[in-house]
Amino acid sequence: MLSIENATAIAHKLVERAVAAGASAADVLYAGERSSSVEVRMGGLEQVNRSEGEHIGLRFFNGSRFATVASSNFTDEALDLLVERAAAMAAEAPEDPYAGLAPPELLERGKLPDIDAFDPAEPDPAALQARAVAAESAALAVPGVANSNGGSAGASASTMALATSTGFARGYSVSGHSCSASVIAGEGETMQRDHAWHSARHLEDLEDAAMIGRRAGERTVARLNPGRIKAGPLPVLFDPRLSHTLLGHFIGAISGAVVARKSSFLKDRLGERVFAPGITITDDPLRPRGLRSRAFDGEGLPVTRRDLVADGILTTWLADCAAARQLGIAPTGHAVRSGGVGPGNLYLAPGQRSRADLLAAYPLAILVTELIGQGVNSVTGDYSRGAAGFIVRGGEIAEPIAEITIASNLIDMFATLEPGSDLEFRNGVDAPTILVPQMTVAAA
Protein backbone atom coordinates (compact mmCIF):
# COMPACT_ATOMS: atom_id res chain seq x y z
CA MET A 1 0.00 0.00 0.00
CA LEU A 2 1.48 3.32 -1.08
CA SER A 3 1.62 6.49 0.97
CA ILE A 4 -0.90 9.21 0.13
CA GLU A 5 1.83 11.22 -1.62
CA ASN A 6 3.07 8.33 -3.75
CA ALA A 7 -0.46 7.15 -4.53
CA THR A 8 -1.43 10.63 -5.68
CA ALA A 9 1.70 10.92 -7.79
CA ILE A 10 1.18 7.63 -9.63
CA ALA A 11 -2.48 8.47 -10.28
CA HIS A 12 -1.51 11.88 -11.66
CA LYS A 13 1.16 10.39 -13.94
CA LEU A 14 -1.30 7.86 -15.35
CA VAL A 15 -3.72 10.67 -16.17
CA GLU A 16 -0.90 12.41 -18.06
CA ARG A 17 -0.22 9.21 -20.02
CA ALA A 18 -3.88 8.94 -20.97
CA VAL A 19 -4.04 12.54 -22.19
CA ALA A 20 -0.84 12.06 -24.14
CA ALA A 21 -2.46 9.00 -25.77
CA GLY A 22 -5.38 11.09 -27.01
CA ALA A 23 -7.89 11.08 -24.16
CA SER A 24 -10.19 14.10 -24.25
CA ALA A 25 -10.46 13.67 -20.48
CA ALA A 26 -9.38 11.08 -17.94
CA ASP A 27 -9.39 10.29 -14.26
CA VAL A 28 -7.54 7.69 -12.22
CA LEU A 29 -8.25 6.16 -8.84
CA TYR A 30 -5.63 4.36 -6.78
CA ALA A 31 -6.85 2.07 -3.99
CA GLY A 32 -4.56 0.16 -1.65
CA GLU A 33 -5.48 -1.90 1.39
CA ARG A 34 -3.99 -4.12 4.08
CA SER A 35 -5.98 -6.24 6.48
CA SER A 36 -5.40 -8.79 9.24
CA SER A 37 -7.94 -11.01 10.97
CA VAL A 38 -8.01 -13.86 13.45
CA GLU A 39 -10.86 -16.31 13.99
CA VAL A 40 -11.22 -18.63 16.98
CA ARG A 41 -13.74 -21.27 17.99
CA MET A 42 -14.18 -22.82 21.43
CA GLY A 43 -11.01 -21.07 22.49
CA GLY A 44 -8.90 -22.63 19.73
CA LEU A 45 -7.31 -20.81 16.83
CA GLU A 46 -9.26 -21.44 13.61
CA GLN A 47 -7.79 -19.06 11.07
CA VAL A 48 -5.28 -16.25 10.68
CA ASN A 49 -5.49 -14.07 7.59
CA ARG A 50 -3.27 -11.31 6.31
CA SER A 51 -3.70 -9.62 2.95
CA GLU A 52 -2.32 -6.63 1.11
CA GLY A 53 -3.39 -5.42 -2.27
CA GLU A 54 -3.58 -2.40 -4.50
CA HIS A 55 -4.97 -1.55 -7.89
CA ILE A 56 -5.33 1.45 -10.11
CA GLY A 57 -8.29 2.25 -12.32
CA LEU A 58 -8.29 4.49 -15.38
CA ARG A 59 -11.38 6.10 -16.91
CA PHE A 60 -10.49 7.15 -20.48
CA PHE A 61 -12.81 9.53 -22.36
CA ASN A 62 -13.02 9.85 -26.13
CA GLY A 63 -15.55 12.65 -26.43
CA SER A 64 -18.83 11.23 -25.14
CA ARG A 65 -17.47 7.69 -25.23
CA PHE A 66 -15.51 6.22 -22.35
CA ALA A 67 -14.02 3.02 -21.02
CA THR A 68 -12.76 1.97 -17.62
CA VAL A 69 -9.84 -0.42 -17.10
CA ALA A 70 -7.86 -1.43 -14.03
CA SER A 71 -4.57 -3.10 -13.14
CA SER A 72 -2.60 -4.21 -10.10
CA ASN A 73 0.67 -4.05 -12.03
CA PHE A 74 2.30 -0.63 -11.77
CA THR A 75 5.31 -1.12 -14.02
CA ASP A 76 5.77 1.33 -16.89
CA GLU A 77 5.10 -1.40 -19.41
CA ALA A 78 1.89 -2.47 -17.70
CA LEU A 79 0.59 1.09 -17.40
CA ASP A 80 1.38 1.81 -21.05
CA LEU A 81 -0.60 -1.29 -22.00
CA LEU A 82 -3.43 -0.18 -19.70
CA VAL A 83 -3.69 3.16 -21.50
CA GLU A 84 -3.53 1.47 -24.90
CA ARG A 85 -6.36 -0.89 -24.02
CA ALA A 86 -8.46 1.90 -22.53
CA ALA A 87 -8.08 3.98 -25.70
CA ALA A 88 -9.09 1.05 -27.90
CA MET A 89 -12.13 0.25 -25.74
CA ALA A 90 -13.26 3.88 -25.55
CA ALA A 91 -13.15 4.17 -29.35
CA GLU A 92 -15.68 1.33 -29.60
CA ALA A 93 -17.85 2.28 -26.62
CA PRO A 94 -21.39 3.63 -27.14
CA GLU A 95 -21.89 7.36 -26.81
CA ASP A 96 -23.18 8.63 -23.48
CA PRO A 97 -24.26 12.30 -23.61
CA TYR A 98 -24.26 12.54 -19.82
CA ALA A 99 -20.81 11.07 -19.16
CA GLY A 100 -17.86 13.24 -18.24
CA LEU A 101 -15.71 14.53 -15.43
CA ALA A 102 -16.87 16.98 -12.80
CA PRO A 103 -16.65 20.62 -13.92
CA PRO A 104 -13.27 22.07 -12.80
CA GLU A 105 -14.90 24.93 -10.93
CA LEU A 106 -16.75 22.48 -8.66
CA LEU A 107 -13.71 20.45 -7.57
CA GLU A 108 -12.40 20.48 -4.02
CA ARG A 109 -9.57 23.02 -4.14
CA GLY A 110 -9.15 23.99 -0.50
CA LYS A 111 -7.49 22.24 2.40
CA LEU A 112 -8.99 18.78 2.85
CA PRO A 113 -11.18 18.39 5.93
CA ASP A 114 -9.68 16.50 8.86
CA ILE A 115 -11.93 13.47 9.27
CA ASP A 116 -9.51 11.79 11.73
CA ALA A 117 -10.17 8.42 10.10
CA PHE A 118 -6.67 6.90 10.20
CA ASP A 119 -5.16 5.09 13.18
CA PRO A 120 -1.58 3.91 12.51
CA ALA A 121 -1.88 1.21 15.21
CA GLU A 122 -1.78 -2.29 13.71
CA PRO A 123 -2.31 -5.01 16.35
CA ASP A 124 -0.23 -8.14 15.87
CA PRO A 125 -1.92 -11.55 15.46
CA ALA A 126 -1.47 -12.36 19.15
CA ALA A 127 -3.39 -9.23 20.16
CA LEU A 128 -6.14 -9.98 17.65
CA GLN A 129 -6.40 -13.54 18.91
CA ALA A 130 -6.67 -12.37 22.52
CA ARG A 131 -9.50 -10.03 21.55
CA ALA A 132 -11.35 -12.75 19.64
CA VAL A 133 -10.97 -15.21 22.52
CA ALA A 134 -12.19 -12.64 25.04
CA ALA A 135 -15.33 -12.01 23.00
CA GLU A 136 -16.12 -15.68 22.49
CA SER A 137 -15.39 -16.57 26.13
CA ALA A 138 -17.76 -13.90 27.39
CA ALA A 139 -20.48 -15.18 25.05
CA LEU A 140 -19.97 -18.80 26.14
CA ALA A 141 -20.17 -17.75 29.79
CA VAL A 142 -23.79 -16.61 29.41
CA PRO A 143 -26.05 -19.30 30.97
CA GLY A 144 -27.91 -21.20 28.25
CA VAL A 145 -25.28 -20.82 25.54
CA ALA A 146 -24.40 -24.30 24.31
CA ASN A 147 -21.98 -23.86 21.42
CA SER A 148 -20.07 -21.33 19.40
CA ASN A 149 -19.80 -20.27 15.81
CA GLY A 150 -16.64 -18.43 16.81
CA GLY A 151 -15.15 -15.12 17.71
CA SER A 152 -13.14 -12.84 15.44
CA ALA A 153 -11.05 -9.70 15.51
CA GLY A 154 -9.57 -7.69 12.70
CA ALA A 155 -7.68 -4.58 11.69
CA SER A 156 -7.38 -2.86 8.34
CA ALA A 157 -6.15 0.28 6.63
CA SER A 158 -6.61 1.69 3.16
CA THR A 159 -5.44 4.59 1.05
CA MET A 160 -7.21 6.10 -1.92
CA ALA A 161 -6.05 8.80 -4.30
CA LEU A 162 -7.91 10.43 -7.17
CA ALA A 163 -6.41 12.39 -10.05
CA THR A 164 -8.24 14.00 -12.98
CA SER A 165 -7.23 15.73 -16.19
CA THR A 166 -9.05 18.81 -14.89
CA GLY A 167 -6.40 19.40 -12.25
CA PHE A 168 -7.50 17.44 -9.20
CA ALA A 169 -4.96 15.21 -7.41
CA ARG A 170 -5.70 14.39 -3.75
CA GLY A 171 -5.84 11.40 -1.44
CA TYR A 172 -6.54 10.25 2.11
CA SER A 173 -6.28 7.17 4.33
CA VAL A 174 -8.69 5.38 6.67
CA SER A 175 -8.34 2.51 9.12
CA GLY A 176 -10.63 0.02 10.84
CA HIS A 177 -10.71 -2.24 13.90
CA SER A 178 -13.38 -4.83 14.60
CA CYS A 179 -14.50 -7.58 16.95
CA SER A 180 -17.41 -10.05 16.87
CA ALA A 181 -18.83 -13.21 18.43
CA SER A 182 -21.54 -15.63 17.32
CA VAL A 183 -22.93 -18.41 19.53
CA ILE A 184 -25.69 -21.04 19.71
CA ALA A 185 -28.23 -21.81 22.43
CA GLY A 186 -30.53 -24.81 22.72
CA GLU A 187 -30.32 -28.18 21.00
CA GLY A 188 -31.69 -29.85 17.89
CA GLU A 189 -34.68 -28.13 16.35
CA THR A 190 -34.84 -25.67 19.25
CA MET A 191 -31.40 -24.23 18.52
CA GLN A 192 -31.09 -20.49 18.11
CA ARG A 193 -28.10 -18.42 17.12
CA ASP A 194 -27.25 -14.76 17.26
CA HIS A 195 -24.24 -12.50 17.26
CA ALA A 196 -22.82 -9.13 18.20
CA TRP A 197 -20.08 -7.04 16.66
CA HIS A 198 -18.54 -3.61 16.70
CA SER A 199 -16.14 -1.70 14.47
CA ALA A 200 -14.36 1.63 14.77
CA ARG A 201 -11.82 3.70 12.89
CA HIS A 202 -9.52 3.96 15.93
CA LEU A 203 -8.62 1.08 18.21
CA GLU A 204 -9.29 3.15 21.32
CA ASP A 205 -12.92 3.58 20.21
CA LEU A 206 -13.55 -0.14 19.81
CA GLU A 207 -15.98 -1.56 22.33
CA ASP A 208 -14.60 -3.94 24.96
CA ALA A 209 -14.45 -7.49 23.60
CA ALA A 210 -16.09 -9.01 26.68
CA MET A 211 -19.01 -6.62 26.35
CA ILE A 212 -19.47 -7.60 22.71
CA GLY A 213 -19.38 -11.29 23.59
CA ARG A 214 -21.79 -10.95 26.50
CA ARG A 215 -24.25 -9.16 24.25
CA ALA A 216 -23.99 -11.97 21.68
CA GLY A 217 -24.73 -14.59 24.34
CA GLU A 218 -27.66 -12.70 25.85
CA ARG A 219 -29.21 -12.09 22.46
CA THR A 220 -28.96 -15.76 21.59
CA VAL A 221 -30.48 -17.07 24.81
CA ALA A 222 -33.32 -14.56 24.59
CA ARG A 223 -34.41 -16.15 21.29
CA LEU A 224 -35.06 -19.61 22.76
CA ASN A 225 -38.56 -21.12 22.59
CA PRO A 226 -40.19 -18.69 20.14
CA GLY A 227 -43.96 -18.44 20.15
CA ARG A 228 -46.51 -17.53 17.52
CA ILE A 229 -48.87 -14.65 17.03
CA LYS A 230 -52.20 -14.28 15.26
CA ALA A 231 -51.93 -12.76 11.80
CA GLY A 232 -53.24 -9.26 11.26
CA PRO A 233 -52.38 -5.57 11.46
CA LEU A 234 -50.04 -4.71 14.33
CA PRO A 235 -47.65 -1.96 15.37
CA VAL A 236 -44.06 -2.93 14.56
CA LEU A 237 -40.95 -1.60 16.25
CA PHE A 238 -37.59 -1.87 14.48
CA ASP A 239 -34.69 -2.37 16.88
CA PRO A 240 -31.61 -0.16 16.27
CA ARG A 241 -29.78 -3.29 15.14
CA LEU A 242 -31.74 -3.05 11.88
CA SER A 243 -33.80 0.14 11.90
CA HIS A 244 -31.11 1.69 9.71
CA THR A 245 -32.20 -0.63 6.87
CA LEU A 246 -35.19 1.64 6.34
CA LEU A 247 -32.74 4.47 5.63
CA GLY A 248 -31.08 2.20 3.07
CA HIS A 249 -34.35 1.90 1.16
CA PHE A 250 -34.78 5.67 1.37
CA ILE A 251 -31.32 6.32 -0.06
CA GLY A 252 -31.96 3.89 -2.91
CA ALA A 253 -35.13 5.79 -3.75
CA ILE A 254 -33.45 9.21 -3.96
CA SER A 255 -30.50 8.09 -6.09
CA GLY A 256 -30.32 10.46 -9.04
CA ALA A 257 -29.82 7.72 -11.63
CA VAL A 258 -32.85 5.81 -10.35
CA VAL A 259 -34.97 8.96 -10.33
CA ALA A 260 -33.83 9.83 -13.86
CA ARG A 261 -35.00 6.40 -15.00
CA LYS A 262 -38.32 7.07 -13.23
CA SER A 263 -37.96 3.78 -11.36
CA SER A 264 -38.19 5.15 -7.81
CA PHE A 265 -41.32 5.23 -5.67
CA LEU A 266 -40.25 8.75 -4.61
CA LYS A 267 -39.57 10.03 -8.14
CA ASP A 268 -42.16 12.83 -7.95
CA ARG A 269 -41.75 13.77 -4.30
CA LEU A 270 -38.85 16.24 -4.24
CA GLY A 271 -39.81 19.22 -2.08
CA GLU A 272 -42.82 17.37 -0.68
CA ARG A 273 -43.55 15.93 2.73
CA VAL A 274 -42.46 12.28 2.73
CA PHE A 275 -42.06 11.79 6.48
CA ALA A 276 -44.03 13.17 9.41
CA PRO A 277 -43.40 16.73 10.59
CA GLY A 278 -40.31 16.94 12.77
CA ILE A 279 -38.47 14.09 11.06
CA THR A 280 -34.88 14.87 10.04
CA ILE A 281 -32.49 12.62 8.11
CA THR A 282 -28.93 13.93 7.97
CA ASP A 283 -25.91 13.00 5.89
CA ASP A 284 -22.64 13.93 7.61
CA PRO A 285 -19.57 12.76 5.66
CA LEU A 286 -17.29 14.96 7.79
CA ARG A 287 -17.92 13.43 11.22
CA PRO A 288 -14.52 12.82 12.86
CA ARG A 289 -13.78 9.08 13.01
CA GLY A 290 -17.06 8.25 11.27
CA LEU A 291 -17.20 4.87 9.52
CA ARG A 292 -18.34 6.51 6.27
CA SER A 293 -16.46 9.80 6.54
CA ARG A 294 -14.54 10.95 3.48
CA ALA A 295 -12.50 13.97 2.48
CA PHE A 296 -14.07 14.30 -0.99
CA ASP A 297 -16.40 12.29 -3.18
CA GLY A 298 -15.56 9.85 -5.98
CA GLU A 299 -15.37 12.64 -8.56
CA GLY A 300 -13.25 15.05 -6.52
CA LEU A 301 -16.14 17.22 -5.34
CA PRO A 302 -16.25 18.64 -1.81
CA VAL A 303 -18.56 16.93 0.65
CA THR A 304 -20.66 18.62 3.27
CA ARG A 305 -23.16 17.91 6.01
CA ARG A 306 -26.74 18.34 4.85
CA ASP A 307 -30.28 17.39 5.82
CA LEU A 308 -31.74 15.14 3.16
CA VAL A 309 -35.07 15.36 4.94
CA ALA A 310 -35.93 18.47 6.96
CA ASP A 311 -39.14 18.61 9.01
CA GLY A 312 -40.38 15.62 7.02
CA ILE A 313 -39.76 17.23 3.61
CA LEU A 314 -37.49 15.64 1.00
CA THR A 315 -34.91 18.32 0.15
CA THR A 316 -32.62 16.75 -2.47
CA TRP A 317 -31.69 13.87 -4.72
CA LEU A 318 -28.25 12.29 -4.45
CA ALA A 319 -26.57 12.84 -7.81
CA ASP A 320 -23.17 12.25 -9.33
CA CYS A 321 -22.25 14.36 -12.34
CA ALA A 322 -23.86 12.04 -14.91
CA ALA A 323 -27.19 11.84 -13.05
CA ALA A 324 -27.07 15.58 -12.35
CA ARG A 325 -26.80 16.30 -16.08
CA GLN A 326 -29.79 14.05 -16.72
CA LEU A 327 -31.86 15.75 -14.05
CA GLY A 328 -30.71 19.29 -14.78
CA ILE A 329 -29.35 19.87 -11.27
CA ALA A 330 -25.94 20.39 -9.68
CA PRO A 331 -24.04 17.29 -8.50
CA THR A 332 -24.41 16.79 -4.78
CA GLY A 333 -21.00 15.40 -3.81
CA HIS A 334 -22.18 11.82 -3.26
CA ALA A 335 -20.43 10.02 -6.14
CA VAL A 336 -18.76 6.71 -5.38
CA ARG A 337 -16.09 5.39 -7.70
CA SER A 338 -17.66 1.96 -8.01
CA GLY A 339 -20.60 3.66 -9.72
CA GLY A 340 -23.66 5.56 -8.59
CA VAL A 341 -23.96 7.45 -5.33
CA GLY A 342 -23.79 6.81 -1.62
CA PRO A 343 -24.18 8.83 1.56
CA GLY A 344 -21.54 9.52 4.17
CA ASN A 345 -22.50 9.00 7.80
CA LEU A 346 -26.28 8.89 7.48
CA TYR A 347 -28.65 9.04 10.43
CA LEU A 348 -32.26 9.54 11.41
CA ALA A 349 -32.39 12.18 14.12
CA PRO A 350 -33.79 11.01 17.47
CA GLY A 351 -37.40 11.69 18.38
CA GLN A 352 -38.95 12.96 21.59
CA ARG A 353 -40.18 9.69 23.10
CA SER A 354 -37.90 7.12 24.68
CA ARG A 355 -37.65 3.51 23.58
CA ALA A 356 -39.66 2.54 26.66
CA ASP A 357 -42.38 5.00 25.66
CA LEU A 358 -42.54 3.55 22.14
CA LEU A 359 -42.74 0.00 23.51
CA ALA A 360 -45.63 1.07 25.72
CA ALA A 361 -47.46 3.00 23.00
CA TYR A 362 -49.74 0.04 22.17
CA PRO A 363 -51.01 -2.87 24.28
CA LEU A 364 -49.67 -5.40 21.74
CA ALA A 365 -46.83 -4.93 19.26
CA ILE A 366 -43.90 -6.68 17.58
CA LEU A 367 -40.25 -5.76 18.20
CA VAL A 368 -38.22 -6.89 15.18
CA THR A 369 -34.56 -7.75 15.79
CA GLU A 370 -33.81 -9.70 12.61
CA LEU A 371 -34.86 -9.29 8.99
CA ILE A 372 -34.63 -12.09 6.43
CA GLY A 373 -34.54 -11.86 2.65
CA GLN A 374 -35.14 -8.84 0.43
CA GLY A 375 -38.77 -8.41 -0.57
CA VAL A 376 -38.69 -4.67 -1.32
CA ASN A 377 -39.94 -3.28 -4.63
CA SER A 378 -37.96 -0.10 -5.34
CA VAL A 379 -40.44 1.02 -8.01
CA THR A 380 -43.66 0.75 -6.00
CA GLY A 381 -42.30 0.82 -2.43
CA ASP A 382 -44.01 -2.47 -1.54
CA TYR A 383 -42.29 -3.96 1.50
CA SER A 384 -42.51 -7.59 2.63
CA ARG A 385 -39.77 -9.30 4.60
CA GLY A 386 -39.26 -12.30 6.82
CA ALA A 387 -38.57 -11.34 10.40
CA ALA A 388 -37.90 -12.50 13.95
CA GLY A 389 -37.99 -10.70 17.25
CA PHE A 390 -40.24 -10.42 20.28
CA ILE A 391 -43.85 -9.86 21.19
CA VAL A 392 -44.37 -6.71 23.23
CA ARG A 393 -47.23 -6.84 25.75
CA GLY A 394 -48.21 -3.84 27.80
CA GLY A 395 -44.91 -2.14 27.12
CA GLU A 396 -42.81 -5.13 28.22
CA ILE A 397 -40.72 -7.32 25.92
CA ALA A 398 -42.25 -10.79 26.26
CA GLU A 399 -41.70 -14.09 24.44
CA PRO A 400 -39.57 -14.37 21.31
CA ILE A 401 -41.20 -14.85 17.94
CA ALA A 402 -39.78 -16.30 14.72
CA GLU A 403 -40.76 -17.13 11.16
CA ILE A 404 -43.08 -14.20 10.62
CA THR A 405 -43.56 -11.83 7.71
CA ILE A 406 -44.06 -8.09 8.06
CA ALA A 407 -45.54 -6.18 5.13
CA SER A 408 -46.60 -2.68 4.15
CA ASN A 409 -45.57 0.01 1.68
CA LEU A 410 -42.57 2.25 2.29
CA ILE A 411 -44.57 5.34 1.35
CA ASP A 412 -46.97 4.62 4.22
CA MET A 413 -44.18 3.52 6.56
CA PHE A 414 -42.16 6.68 5.96
CA ALA A 415 -45.24 8.90 6.43
CA THR A 416 -46.15 7.39 9.81
CA LEU A 417 -42.93 6.16 11.44
CA GLU A 418 -41.73 7.63 14.73
CA PRO A 419 -38.11 7.50 15.88
CA GLY A 420 -37.22 6.96 19.53
CA SER A 421 -34.71 9.00 21.47
CA ASP A 422 -32.11 6.19 21.67
CA LEU A 423 -29.91 7.07 18.69
CA GLU A 424 -26.29 5.84 18.91
CA PHE A 425 -23.58 6.28 16.28
CA ARG A 426 -22.32 2.71 15.84
CA ASN A 427 -22.42 2.20 12.07
CA GLY A 428 -22.08 4.25 8.94
CA VAL A 429 -25.89 4.39 8.77
CA ASP A 430 -27.69 4.75 12.09
CA ALA A 431 -31.22 5.09 13.40
CA PRO A 432 -32.85 4.80 16.81
CA THR A 433 -35.70 2.43 17.60
CA ILE A 434 -38.41 3.09 15.01
CA LEU A 435 -42.13 2.59 15.55
CA VAL A 436 -44.36 1.96 12.53
CA PRO A 437 -47.93 2.18 13.87
CA GLN A 438 -49.37 -0.46 11.52
CA MET A 439 -48.01 -3.26 9.37
CA THR A 440 -49.46 -6.59 8.32
CA VAL A 441 -47.94 -9.40 10.37
CA ALA A 442 -48.33 -13.02 9.32
CA ALA A 443 -46.70 -16.41 9.81
CA ALA A 444 -43.96 -16.94 7.25
Mean pLDDT, rounded, for 126-139: 98
294-338 confidence digits (pLDDT tens): 999 999 999 999 999 999 999 999 999 999 999 999 999 999 977
Helix or strand run (H / E) with residue 246: helix 244-253
Tell me the CA distances in angstroms from 168 to 22, 76, 101, 117, 163, one per residue in order: 19, 22, 11, 21, 5
140 sits in which H/E element: helix 125-140
Q: Mean per-residue pLDDT for 133-139?
A: 98
What confidence score (pLDDT) does residue 48 get? 97
pLDDT at residue 361 tops 90: yes
Lowest-confidence pick of 187-191, 219-223, 401-405? 187-191
pLDDT of residue 89: 98
189: confidence class by pLDDT, cuts 50, 70, 90:
confident
Contact status, residue 236 vs residue 442, Cβ threshold 8 Å: no
pLDDT confidence band for 219 (50 / 70 / 90): very high
* DSSP secondary structure, 328-393, as one string: TS---S-B-TTSSB--SEEEEPP-SS-HHHHHTSSSEEEEEEEEES--B-TTT-EEEEEEEEEEEE
Q: pTM of the prediction?
A: 0.95
User: Which CATH code is given to the segment(s) 4-221?
Assistant: 3.30.2290.10
- Mean pLDDT of the 281-299 span: 97
pLDDT digits (tens, 9 = 90+) for 227-267: 888 889 999 999 999 999 999 999 999 999 999 999 999 99
Reply yes or no on whether the pLDDT at 340 is more than 90.
no
Quote the percentage of the chain above a pLDDT of 70. Answer: 100
| CB neighbours of residue 305 within 10 Å | 12
SS3 category, 306: strand
Q: Domain extents for the chain?
A: 4-221, 226-244+350-443
